Structure 1
Amino acid sequence: MSIQKNILKIITASILVFSINCFSQQLPENEVVVFGLDIAKDATPALVSRILKANENPISEIRFEKGTYHFYPDKGFEKFCYISNHGDLMINTPFPLFNRNNLVIDGQGSTFIFHGVMIPFLIEDSKNISVKNLSIDWYQSFHSEGLIVANDEANKTFDMQISNEYPYDIRNGQLFFIKEYYQHTIGQSILFDPKRKAISFDTEAYTGITTKSKSEATFNIDTINYKYEYDKRDVDNKDIGVENRVTVKEIKPGLLRVFGHTKKMPPVGHILSMKGQQGLNRVSPAFSVKHTNGFNALNVTVHHAGGMGIIAENSADIVLDNFNVTPSQGRMVSTTADATHFVGCRGKLELKNCTFENQLDDASNIHGTYQKIVDVLDDYRIGVRMGHHQQKAFVIGRPNDHLGFVRLSESFFPYKKSTIKSIEYINNRYQIITLNDKLPKDVKPGDLVENLDGYPDLLVKNCTIRNNRARGLLISNPVHTLIENNFFSTEMEALLMPVESGHWYESGNAANVVIKGNIFQDCQHGGKNRGVIRFDTDDDNKNIAFKNIEIIDNTFNQFDNLILEVTNVDGLVFKGNVITNSGTFPQLYPENPAIKVANSKNLIFNKNKYQGKVNPNLLITGDESMSDLKFK
C-alpha cells in the first residue's frame, strides 16, 4: 500500500511539474515594441494593430526611434466618448489603452503631429501607465488667429489680416475657418498682445467678439413646457432665441472686415484668437484618462490640443513631472481649453516642474461633482441627474465610496453621509444610486450629493503659469493642498477657490490649503475687478465654505491694488508676504483696498510688508463682523 502511495505521489508530482512547465511556456513575456521612422508618414495603423493584439501578446513598453511621426484619424481606433468638460462625440485614437497594466510609452524625444479630430492618448480602466519623452502637436490648429490692421469706432468695424495658415470660407456673411476634418466660426474669442505673447491688457473691454443677439422674431416658444429639468445651456438648446450679430466681408484675399461688434474695437497690432462656438470647440484633448490607477507623464510637451492638455476622471495617483503646455509654430495659443483638469480623482495628484502657458483656459482645475437628487425612490435608492451638459455619463463613485448629502441653503457641508452599494446607469443624464444605509429622513429632491472620497492629496510645485486666458489654479479640494514655489502671471485670478454649485456643478470646499513661496506677477490684467487670490461661492450664501488656509512668504508684484478676496472662510493665516506695485500697467481699479473680507472669521494678518499704492488706513475692508481686523 505504501509503494502504491509513493508511486501515486511521484506521478502526481510529475504531472504538476509538467503542468507548471507547460503553463510557463504558454505565458508570453511582455514585449518591448520598437517603432521606427518607416511608419512616420502615418503611424496610426501600426500602433492600433499592435495595441489591439496586446491581450494575446502583452506589451511592457512601446518605444519610438527619435523623429517626427504623423497620425491621421482615418485608420484610428473608433470609440464614442463622453469626456468631462468636453464635447461628446465619436473619436479616433492611435493609442486605445483599455485595461492595460504596467505599460511605458517612450518617445525618446520624438514629436507626434496629429491631424483632425483625434485623442492622441485614450486611457481607460488601466493601471500604472507611463508616457515620457515626447511632444504633441497638431498640423492645423483648432483655433484661428487674425492680426488687427485697422479699426473704425465711428462705424463699428475692424479689419483682420488672416495668414495662409488659417484658410476660411464666408457663407452669407458668416466666417468659417476650414481645417483638416474640422471647421469653426469666430465663436469664443480673446485678444493677444504679440509683443508680450500674452493676453492683451484689459482685453475684457474689447472681447469676446459679440457674435450673438436676440432673434428678430420668435413665436410661442415660451409655451413649450418640459416635464423634467431642461438645460438651456446644452448644445441642442443654447441657440434658441438668438441669431448671429456679426457679419464678415472680404476686402481682398486674406483681409476681412468685421461688422456688428458692440464692445470697443480691438486695437491695431493685436491678434484676435478665435476658437468657434462654445459647446462645439472642445473635441480633442491630448490625454483622456478615466478609471485609471497610476498615471505618470514625464518630459512631455503639449504644444496644442483642441480642448485640454489632459483631462483625468475618476482616477488615482497621477504625477505630471515636466509636463509642459506651450505653443509652437509662432502661434499665440497652446491648448484651446485648460492645460490640465481633474474630476473626481483621488490618491496623490502631483504637478511638478511644469510650464502652463498661452492656453485658452485655466492651468488646472481640481474638483468633484455635485449631482442633483431628482427622485427619492425608496429607503435606499435615489435617482440623480447630471447638472452640466459637459458632465454627461459621469459616474459619481464606486461601491463603498462615501457619499455626502448637501443642502446649500443650510450649509456647504454634508448634513448626512452614507456609502454607495451600487450605481445603475440608466442614461447619460440619469442614474440610480443604491446605498448601504437608509436614506436620511429629511432627504428631498433638489438636494445634492458629492463623493467625499473623490478628492486628492494635491501638490503643485516649481511650476510656471503665465500668458493664458482665465485663471491659474481652481482648487476645490478639501483633503490637502500644497502650492509652493510657483510663478503666476494670469489674465484672471492666479488662484480661485470656488464652490460652483449652480452652473458647473463642481463640488469641493477648499480646506487645508498651504500657499507658500510663490511669485504673483501682474495677475488680473484682463480687466476684471477681482483679487489675485479669491474665495468665491456662486450665490449670496453667508455660510462658511472654506477652512484652514495658509498664505505665507509669497511675493505679490501687482500693477493694481486688490490682492486677496476672502469670503466664507473660517481660519486663514496671511503671513510673511511682500506686496509691491509693479507699475507695468495703469491701474484699472485704484479705489480698491489690498484685501476684501466678508462672511469670514478667525483671520490672522501678520509680519507682511506692504509697498503698494493703497492708503495704509484702507488696506483691508470688511463687513460689519470685521471691524477690528488689522493688517500687520
Structure 2
Amino acid sequence: MRTKKVILFLFIAYFMIGCGQEKENELSFRQFMQSKTENSSPAAAKMVGSLRERSNEEEVTITFPKGRYDFYENSSFVREYYISNHDQVNPKRVVFALENLKNVTIDGQGSEFVFHGRMIPFALSGCENVTLKNFSVDFEVPALRQLEILEVDKESDVLEATICPGENYRIEEGKLVVLGEGYEYRPFVSMAFREDKRLSYRRGDVSFNPESVTEIAPDTFRIEGWNQVNVTSPGERYALRTYYRPTPGIFINESKNSVLENVTVHYAEGMGLLAQMSENITLEGFNVCLKGEEDPRYFTTQADATHFSACKGTIISKNGLYEGMADDAINVHGTYLKVFERPADNILHARYMHPQAWGFKWGEPGDSVQFVESEKMELVGNHVNTIKEIRALDRPTYFGAKEFEIVFNDSLPKEISGEGAYGIENLTWTPEVLFSGNTIRNNRARGTLFSTPKKVICENNLFDHTHGTAILLCGDCNGWYETGSCREVIIRNNKFVNALSANYQFTNAVISIYPEIPNLEEQEKFFHSGIVIENNTFEMFDRPLLYAKSTDGLQFRNNTITYNNAFDPFHWNEHIFFFEKVDNVLIENNEFEKGLSREDDVRVELSEDGAVRVNGNN
C-alpha cells in the first residue's frame, strides 16, 4: 500500500512539474490585455517587453486565443528602419517590434490581426529561431481603393462607379482624394481587373487622370473625361494607387532561421514580406491573397508579395497562394554598389544608387565580392576579392548610410575607378532558393524573379494569368542595381496558363532571361549560365515562350506547349524562341501542338553559328 502511495505521489509531482514547465514556456496573449479594450497595441507592447526580459536560451510560445485583434498606432513602437526596395521615410510605427530575440514562437491559432494607420505589423530584427504562424494580417482602411464600373456612356465620355472600401475619401476641385487613417493622397495610376478577377487584357499601369470626379451618392461617383471610357465595361474594377511603398507587412532584418507557417497577408502598402541581410528563411503556406471568392477587393499588396534582398543560406517558399499583387510573387537579389572613387590600390569608395535601396548593411569583413563593368555587365577579372574593412562615409555607422569606404585584402583590377561605370557585388550574401508548390495568379508585372548565383529550384508551381512574364532572370547595374548572374537554375514541373497578357519592363516572353546590358554587342563574357527548363506545361494564346540574352548553357526539354484562343495574339515578339548573344542552347524532345519550325519560330542574334541546337521536337 505504501508503495502505491509513493508511486501516486511521484506521478502527481511529475505532473505538476510538467504543468509548471508548460506554463512557463507557453504564454497567452490574453494575460497582457486589459479587459474590453479595442486597441491591442498596448498588449502587444507588454508582450514584447516580456519577451525581452526572458532568457534568449529558453524557448517560449505566445498563443493568441482565436479571434480578431485590432492594432492602432497609439501605443505602438516608433522605429527608424531602412528597408530595401521601399521608400525610406522615418520614423515608422511598428506593432510587434521583435528585436534581438531567440527561440520565440508566436501562434495566432487562426486569429485575424487587423491594423489601423500606416505601420509595420511585424518586424524581426537581429532575431534567431523566431517562428510566426497561424494568423492573417490586414488593414481596416487600405491605401489602395477600388472602383467598380456601374455604367458607361461612351457618347458623353462619362462613367459611373462605386468605391471599395467605402467612405474615407473626399472630392477636392473635381479630384478624388483618398483618406487613410492618418494620411491622404491622390491616386494617379491603377490596375484594371475584369469582373472575374483577371487583370484586363493589354492594360498594364492604367493612368487615373479624369477631368472631374463628382459624388452623386455616398460611395458613388460620376467620372468624366477619363481615357478608359472607350475600353471599359460595367463590372470591371480599377485598383487606384500610387507607386509609394512606405512599409511592408512583415519585415525581417539581420535575422537567422526565421519561419513563417500558415501566415496570410491580405494587404500591405509595400511588400507583403521584405527580408534583408538575413540567413535561412522558410515560408510554409505563406499567402498574399484575397479573403476568398466573396472578397469585394481584387487587390492585395502595393508591390511584391515576398522580396529577399541580400540574404544568404536557404530561402524556402512552399505551398503558398499569391494573387492580386502589384508586382512579383517573389524577388531574390542583392544590391550593386557603384564605385565613385579609388583612393588607393586596394580601397574603393562606393554608394547605393537606387532611391529605394540604401541605409541598410551591405557587407562585413570577410565577405567575398566581385566587380562588374556596368555597360557590358561583364565581370572585371576572374579573381574574387574579400573585404578587410568597411565603414560608412556619410553616417557614423552603416545605419542610414548611402556611401562606403571598402578596404580589400587584395589589390584591385587596374581598370576599376570612379571614371568608368563599375559595380561591386557581394557574393557572400546570396542564397539558394526553393520555390515549390505555389500558385501565382492575377498579379501585375511578373510572377517570379531570381537573381542569385546559388542554386535555384522552381518546381511544381501554377502560374495562372500573370499579367506579364511568369519567370524572370535579371541582373541590372544601371537602373535597379539589383544583382546578379544566375549559375544554376532548374525550372521544372510547372504549369503556365496564359501569361503575358500585357507589356511591362523585362517581359519579352513567358520566361524571360533578361539582364539589363546597355552595350551587349561588345560584351565578351556571358552573364547567365546553367539554366534548365524541363517537364513543364505551357498553355499559350500568343507566341513568345522563351527569351534569353547573354546566356551560356540553356536547356529547354521535355516540355508540352498547347494553344488556346483566350486572347488575341499581340506581342511584338513573334518568335517562340528569341535569343540574343547566347551559346550552348539545346531545345529537344518538346511537344508543340502546332509544331516547331527552326526557320520561323527560332530567332538568334549576336551569336556564333551552332549556338542553338534544335532536336527531336514535335
Q: Tell me the equivalent position of 2:180.
A: 179
Other structure's SS at 1:537 match: coil
Q: How does 1:291-370 map to 2 (within 5 A)?
A: 291-328=254-291, 329-370=295-336
Question: Structure 2: how far apart are the matches of 1:619 and 1:431?
Answer: 48
Question: Structure 1: how far apart are the matches of 2:60 and 2:405?
Answer: 39
Q: Tell me the equivalent position of 1:106.
A: 107
Q: What do the CA deviations read for 1:575-623 (whole angstroms, capped 9, x no partner)?
A: 0000010222222249712111111010111100101487675121222
Question: Structure 2: how far apart are the matches of 1:591 and 1:277?
Answer: 30
Q: Tell me the equivalent position of 1:201.
A: 201
Q: Tell me the equivalent position of 2:83.
A: 83
Residues 52/564 of structure 1: CA separation in 2 closer, same or farther (3 Å cut): same
Gaps of 5+ in 1: 1-28, 212-244
Other structure's SS at 1:483 match: strand
Q: What do the CA deviations read for 1:146-175 (whole angstroms, capped 9, x no partner)?
A: 012344556655443224624311222332
Q: Which shows bigger deviation, 340-349 or 441-450?
A: 441-450
Q: Tell me the equivalent position of 1:523.
A: 499
Q: Tell me the equivalent position of 2:128.
A: 127
Other structure's SS at 1:397 match: coil
Residues 64/499 of structure 1: CA separation in 2 closer, same or farther (3 Å cut): same
Q: Tell me the equivalent position of 1:34.
A: 28
Residues 385/270 of structure 1: CA separation in 2 closer, same or farther (3 Å cut): farther
Q: Is 1:50 aligned to residue 47 of structure 2?
A: yes
- Check the 8 A contact 2:202/2:502 in 1, yes or no: yes
Q: Which shows bigger deviation, 185-194 or 462-471?
A: 185-194
- 1:583 corresponds, among 565, 589, 604, to 565
- Check the 8 A contact 2:146/2:165 in 1, yes or no: no
Q: Is 1:457 aligned to residue 432 of structure 2?
A: yes
Residues 622/270 of structure 1: CA separation in 2 closer, same or farther (3 Å cut): farther
Question: Structure 2: how far apart are the matches of 1:382 and 1:265?
Answer: 55
- Check the 8 A contact 1:160/1:257 in 2, yes or no: yes
Q: Is 1:421 aligned to residue 388 of structure 2?
A: yes
Q: Tell me the equivalent position of 2:405.
A: 432
Q: Aligned-pair distance for 1:138?
A: 1.2
- Check the 8 A contact 1:561/1:590 in 2, yes or no: no
Q: Is 1:555 aligned to residue 537 of structure 2?
A: yes
Q: Which one-letter code corresponds to 1:73 in the other structure?
A: E
Q: Aligned-pair distance for 1:47?
A: 1.6
Q: Is 1:273 aligned to residue 233 of structure 2?
A: no
- Check the 8 A contact 1:166/1:177 in 2, yes or no: no
Question: Structure 1: how far apart are the matches of 2:556 and 2:236?
Answer: 39
- Check the 8 A contact 2:580/2:605 in 1, yes or no: yes
Q: What do the CA deviations read for 1:409-433 (whole angstroms, capped 9, x no partner)?
A: 3543343432122322224322222
Q: Which shows bigger deviation, 404-413 or 474-483?
A: 404-413
Q: Which one-letter code corresponds to 2:61 in the other structure?
A: E
Residues 255/316 of structure 1: CA separation in 2 closer, same or farther (3 Å cut): same
Q: How does 1:161-172 map to 2 (within 5 A)?
A: 161-163=162-164, 165-172=166-173
Q: Which one-letter code corresponds to 2:316 in the other structure?
A: E
Q: Tell me the equivalent position of 1:390.
A: 356
- Check the 8 A contact 1:63/1:107 in 2, yes or no: yes
Q: Which shows bigger deviation, 486-495 or 582-591?
A: 582-591
- Check the 8 A contact 1:32/1:63 in 2, yes or no: yes
Q: What do the CA deviations read for 1:294-352 (whole angstroms, capped 9, x no partner)?
A: 10001111111111110000101000001011113421011121100000000011011
Q: Tell me the equivalent position of 1:4.
A: none
Q: Tell me the equivalent position of 1:255.
A: 220
Q: Tell me the equivalent position of 1:63.
A: 63
Q: Tell me the equivalent position of 1:493.
A: 469
Other structure's SS at 2:98 match: strand
- Check the 8 A contact 2:159/2:229 in 1, yes or no: no
Question: Structure 2: how far apart are the matches of 1:591 and 1:118?
Answer: 42
- Check the 8 A contact 2:167/2:219 in 1, yes or no: no
Q: Which one-letter code corresponds to 1:563 in the other structure?
A: L
Q: Tell me the equivalent position of 2:457.
A: 482
Q: Which shows bigger deviation, 453-462 or 391-400?
A: 391-400
- TM normalised by structure 1 equals 0.84
Question: Structure 1: how far apart are the matches of 2:36 and 2:257?
Answer: 29
Q: Which one-letter code corresponds to 1:517 in the other structure?
A: N
What's the Cα RMSD here? 2.4
Other structure's SS at 2:44 match: helix
Question: Structure 2: how far apart are the matches of 1:436 and 1:184?
Answer: 49
Q: Which one-letter code corresponds to 2:390 in the other structure?
A: I
Q: What do the CA deviations read for 1:172-191 (whole angstroms, capped 9, x no partner)?
A: 23321112223232233110
Question: Structure 2: how far apart are the matches of 1:367 and 1:591?
Answer: 27
Q: Aligned-pair distance for 1:360?
A: 1.3
Q: Aligned-pair distance for 1:376?
A: 1.7
Q: What do the CA deviations read for 1:227-286 (whole angstroms, capped 9, x no partner)?
A: xxxxxxxxxxxxxxxxxx8543444543334455457744122544345332xx322311
- Check the 8 A contact 1:114/1:120 in 2, yes or no: yes
- Check the 8 A contact 2:120/2:247 in 1, yes or no: yes
Q: Which one-letter code corresponds to 1:306 in the other structure?
A: E
- TM normalised by structure 2 equals 0.86
Q: Which one-letter code corresponds to 1:277 in the other structure?
A: T
- Check the 8 A contact 2:365/2:388 in 1, yes or no: yes
- Check the 8 A contact 2:166/2:219 in 1, yes or no: no
Q: Aligned-pair distance for 1:56?
A: 2.8
Residues 30/188 of structure 1: CA separation in 2 closer, same or farther (3 Å cut): farther
Question: Structure 2: how far apart are the matches of 1:626 and 1:610?
Answer: 26
Question: Structure 1: how far apart are the matches of 2:192 and 2:408?
Answer: 50
- Check the 8 A contact 1:40/1:70 in 2, yes or no: no
Q: Which one-letter code corresponds to 1:63 in the other structure?
A: T
Q: Which one-letter code corresponds to 2:450 in the other structure?
A: I
- 1:619 corresponds, among 597, 601, 604, to 601
Q: Tell me the equivalent position of 2:4.
A: none
- Check the 8 A contact 2:152/2:229 in 1, yes or no: no
Question: Structure 2: how far apart are the matches of 1:512 and 1:538?
Answer: 19
Q: Which shows bigger deviation, 426-435 or 554-563?
A: 426-435
Q: Which one-letter code corresponds to 2:402 in the other structure?
A: R
Gaps of 5+ in 2: 1-22, 396-400
Residues 432/419 of structure 1: CA separation in 2 closer, same or farther (3 Å cut): same
Q: Aligned-pair distance for 1:454?
A: 1.5
Q: Aligned-pair distance for 1:496?
A: 0.7
Q: Tell me the equivalent position of 2:16.
A: none
Question: Structure 2: how far apart are the matches of 1:111 and 1:143?
Answer: 20
Q: Which shows bigger deviation, 322-331 or 459-468?
A: 322-331
- Check the 8 A contact 1:111/1:134 in 2, yes or no: yes
Q: Is 1:541 aligned to residue 507 of structure 2?
A: no
- Check the 8 A contact 2:239/2:298 in 1, yes or no: no
Residues 603/40 of structure 1: CA separation in 2 closer, same or farther (3 Å cut): farther
Query: Quick one: percent identity of the two aligned structures?
Result: 31
**How many residue pairs end up in the alignment?**
566
